[in-house]
C-alpha cells in the first residue's frame, strides 16, 4: 500500500479552510439580521484575522479546527518539538495564511503551504529563551548545608534564596516609579509571603523554550529531582517532601465526633510539613557507598528535561519510573501506593512484551536489586517481586479491597522493594555508562536477560559457598 501524501493532505486542509470562510461569509450575507441568532454555532463558531487588519473574518468551527491541525503538523514536522506551545505556532500560522493566501493571493499548493507552516514555527521560535525558574519546596528542616544539587537542579534553603535574590527582588519592587508599580509591589509581596511558607526552593535553568513550555519543564525537572531524593534517602524519611502546593508551615487538623449520649468530643493534631529525620551535616550521606553514582545518574536523567537538545532514551525511562515512585511515596492511600510503586517497576523494566508480564517484571526487577550480601537467594527476591505484582493486579482488578488490612500492612514493604529496584537501576546504568548510549529496546531487553543470568549465578555461588564453606565466599 503506498504511503499517503501528507503534503497533499495539507493542501486539501487549507483549501477547505478558505472554502469554509467563503461559505460562511455568503451564509451571513444572505441571512436577515433578525435571524442571526438561528445560525448554527458550528457554522459561525470560528474566525481568522481579517486581511484588512480590522478585527476578524468569520469561519466555521470545522475550518478553524483544520487550521489548528495544520499548526500541530507544522510543529511535529519541525525541530522545535518539546520547546514550543502549540498555541504559539497556531497564532502565528493564522496570520501567515491570511497574509499569504488572501492578501498576497499565493496559490494553495504543496510548496506554499509547507513554507507557510515552517514560517509559523520560525516565528514562534523567536519567543524561545533560556530561563531560570524557582519553585518552592518542602524538603527537610535542617538548614546546613544551605544548598545542594541533583544534576541541573539546585535546592536552596528559603533563607539562602532570599539572600541571593534580595537585590533583584528589590529592583523589581522599585520598577520605573510609575503608578502601575503598585500592582507589581502587591504581586511581589504575595509571592514572597508564599515562598516564605516553604523550607527550600528548587532552582533550575531551562534552555531554549518558550515561556509556557519552560515553566512546565521547570516544574517537571524539580519534581524529578525530588523523586530521585525519595530513592536516594528512602521513602520512609522523605514522604513529607513535595514541590509547591498550598502555603502551610504546619499541618493542623481537627476532628469532631458526637457520642450516643449527645455529648461532643473534639480532637486536634499538629504535624510537620517537611522531613524531620535530617540533622545538620546530613549531606555526608551523599558521599557514602553508592550515593555518588545515584546522584550522577539522577542528574543525567533530569538533563533532557532542562535541555531539549539532549537525547537520552534511558533517561526518559528512569524519570517515568521514578515519577510513579515519587507519586507512590507522597500518596496517602496504601492501595494507591502499591499500584503506583509497581507501575514504576513496570515502566522501568518492560520492553514491549504483552505476554507473561508478571514474570518479566518480577525477574528483571529482582535482577536489578539482588544483592548477595543483603538477600537470601535470587528466587526469594523474585518471589517478593511476584507478590508485589500480584497485589497490584488484585487491587486493579477488584479481587482485593483497598480497605483490606493486608494492603495497609504491605504498602511500606512494596515501597521498599521499588526503592531498591530503582536505586539498583541508577547504579547499574551509571556505572556501565548506559545513560550516555543510544540503546534500542532490543538491546535493553538483551541486557536484562544477561543481568538476570548474572544475578542467578551470584545466587548459586552464594548457595554453594554456604553449603561448602571451604570453597570460599561469594564472588
CA distances (Å), origin 370, targets 114, 291, 417, 455, 472: 54, 17, 10, 7, 20
Per-residue pLDDT reduced to its tens digit, 335-351? 999 999 999 999 999 99
Write the DSSP symbol of residue 78: S
Nearest Cα residue to 300 out of 287, 284, 316: 316
Name which of 11-15, 39-43, 163-167 the model is least confident about.
39-43
Among 189, 440, 230, smallest CA distance to 325 is for: 230
pLDDT above 90 (res 3): no
**pLDDT tens digits for range 242-272:** 999 999 888 999 999 999 999 999 999 999 9
Q: Are strands 242-243 and 147-150 parallel, antiparallel or unpaired?
A: unpaired
Residues for the chain: how many in total? 475
Predicted confidence at residue 176, as pLDDT, reads 63
Per-residue pLDDT, 4: 76
Q: Are 445 and 351 in contact (CB under 8 A)?
A: yes
Q: What is the pLDDT of residues 349-359, one digit of tens each?
A: 999 998 999 99
Q: What is the pLDDT of residues 180-227, one digit of tens each?
A: 667 788 899 999 999 999 999 999 999 999 999 999 999 999 999 999
Kindly tell me if the per-residue pLDDT of 37 is higher than 90. Answer: no
Which pLDDT does position 475 carry in this prediction?
Answer: 41
C-beta separation of 132 from 203 below 8 A: yes
pLDDT at 173: 81
Average pLDDT over residues 422-442: 94
Beta bridge partners of 49: 56
Percent of the chain's residues with pLDDT above 90: 80
**Cα angle 316-235-324, degrees, rounded to a multiple of 5:** 30
Q: What is the average pLDDT score of the chain?
A: 93
Phi and psi (nearest 5°) for 416? Answer: -60, -45
Compute the distance between CA of residue 148 and CA of residue 256 in angstroms, rounded to an integer.
Answer: 43
Distance of CA 135 to the CA centre of its chain: 15
Of 197, 202, 428, 430, which is closest to residue 301 (Cα–Cα)? 430
Contact 269, 252 (CB under 8 A): yes
In the DSSP assignment, the letter for residue 100 is I
Q: pLDDT band at 179, cuts 50/70/90?
A: low
Q: What is the pLDDT of residue 184?
A: 81
Q: Which residue do the cell numbers 494507591 mark? A: 336
Exposed, middle or buried, 99 (CB in 10 Å: 0-12/13-18/19+)? middle
Query: Tens digit of pLDDT for each residue in 152-176?
Result: 999 999 999 999 999 999 888 877 6
CB 362 within 8 A of CB 342: no
Whether the pLDDT of residue 467 is over 90: the answer is: no
Q: Is pLDDT at 328 greater than 80 in this prediction?
A: yes
CB 427 within 8 A of CB 290: yes
For 75-97, the pLDDT digits (tens) are 999 999 999 999 999 999 999 99
Residue-wise DSSP of 140-209: BS--SSSEEEETTEEEEEHHHHHHHHHHHHHHHHHTTS-TTHHHHHHHHHHHHHHHTTSSEEEEEEEEEE
The per-residue pLDDT for 178 is 63
Q: Has residue 283 got a pLDDT over 90? A: no
pLDDT at 470: 65
- Sorting pLDDT into bands at 50, 70 and 90, what band is 469? confident
Average pLDDT (94-108) is 96
C-alpha cell at 420: 531498591
For residue 389, pLDDT over 60 is answered with yes
CA distance 382 to 367: 8
Task: Kindly report the pTM of this predicted structure.
Answer: 0.91
The answer to whether residue 177 scores a pLDDT higher than 70 is no
Measured CA to CA in angstroms, residue 51 lies from 21, 96, 104 at distances of 12, 10, 10
219 CB contacts (<8 Å, ≥6 apart)?
133, 135, 243, 244
Provide mean pLDDT across the span 366-383. 95
Amino acid at each position: 500500500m503506498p504511503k499517503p501524501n501528507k503534503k497533499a493532505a495539507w493542501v486539501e486542509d487549507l483549501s477547505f479552510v478558505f472554502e469554509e470562510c467563503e461559505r460562511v461569509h455568503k451564509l451571513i450575507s444572505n441571512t436577515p439580521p433578525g435571524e442571526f441568532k438561528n445560525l448554527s454555532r458550528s457554522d459561525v463558531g470560528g474566525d481568522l484575522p481579517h486581511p484588512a487588519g480590522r478585527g476578524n473574518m468569520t469561519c466555521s468551527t470545522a475550518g478553524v479546527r483544520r487550521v489548528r491541525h495544520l499548526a500541530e503538523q507544522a510543529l511535529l514536522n519541525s525541530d522545535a518539538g518539546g520547546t514550543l506551545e502549540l498555541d504559539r505556532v497556531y497564532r502565528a500560522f493564522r496570520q501567515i495564511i491570511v497574509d499569504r493566501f488572501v492578501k498576497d493571493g499565493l496559490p494553495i499548493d504543496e510548496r506554499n503551504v509547507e513554507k507557510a507552516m515552517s514560517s509559523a514555527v520560525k516565528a514562534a521560535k523567536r519567543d524561545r529563551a533560556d530561563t531560570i525558574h524557582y519553585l518552592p519546596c518542602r524538603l527537610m528542616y535542617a538548614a546546613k548545608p544551605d544548598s545542594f544539587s541533583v544534576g541541573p537542579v539546585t535546592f536552596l534553603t528559603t533563607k539562602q534564596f532570599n539572600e541571593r535574590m534580595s537585590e533583584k527582588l528589590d529592583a523589581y519592587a522599585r520598577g520605573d516609579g510609575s503608578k502601575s508599580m503598585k500592582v507589581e509591589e502587591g504581586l511581589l509581596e504575595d509571592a514572597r509571603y508564599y515562598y516564605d511558607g516553604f523550607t527550600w526552593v528548587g532552582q533550575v535553568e531551562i534552555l531554549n523554550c518558550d515561556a509556557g513550555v519552560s515553566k512546565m519543564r521547570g516544574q517537571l525537572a524539580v519534581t524529578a529531582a525530588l523523586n530521585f531524593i525519595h530513592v536516594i534517602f528512602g521513602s520512609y524519611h522523605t514522604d513529607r517532601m513535595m514541590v509547591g502546593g498550598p502555603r502551610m508551615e504546619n499541618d493542623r487538623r481537627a476532628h469532631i465526633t458526637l457520642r450516643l449520649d449527645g455529648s461532643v468530643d473534639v480532637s486536634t493534631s499538629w504535624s510537620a510539613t517537611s522531613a524531620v529525620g535530617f540533622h545538620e551535616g546530613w549531606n555526608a550521606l551523599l558521599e557514602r557507598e553508592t550515593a555518588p553514582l545515584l546522584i550522577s545518574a539522577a542528574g543525567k536523567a533530569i538533563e533532557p528535561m532542562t535541555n531539549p537538545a539532549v537525547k537520552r532514551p534511558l533517561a526518559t525511562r528512569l524519570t517515568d519510573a521514578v515519577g510513579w515512585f515519587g507519586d507512590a511515596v507522597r500518596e496517602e492511600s496504601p492501595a494507591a501506593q502499591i499500584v503506583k510503586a509497581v507501575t514504576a517497576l513496570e515502566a522501568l523494566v518492560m520492553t514491549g512484551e504483552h505476554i507473561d508480564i508478571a514474570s518479566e517484571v518480577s525477574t528483571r526487577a529482582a535482577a536489578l536489586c539482588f544483592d548477595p550480601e543483603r538477600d537470601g537467594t535470587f528466587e526469594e527476591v523474585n518471589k517478593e517481586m511476584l507478590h508485589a505484582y500480584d497485589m497490584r493486579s488484585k487491587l486493579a482488578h477488584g479481587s482485593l479491597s483497598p480497605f483490606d488490612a493486608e494492603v495497609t500492612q504491605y504498602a511500606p514493604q512494596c515501597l521498599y522493594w521499588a526503592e531498591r529496584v530503582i536505586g539498583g537501576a541508577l547504579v547499574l546504568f551509571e556505572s556501565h555508562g548506559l545513560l550516555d548510549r543510544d540503546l534500542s529496546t532490543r538491546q535493553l531487553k538483551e541486557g536484562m536477560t544477561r543481568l538476570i543470568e548474572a544475578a542467578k549465578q551470584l545466587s548459586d555461588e552464594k548457595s554453594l559457598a554456604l553449603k561448602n564453606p571451604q570453597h570460599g565466599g561469594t564472588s
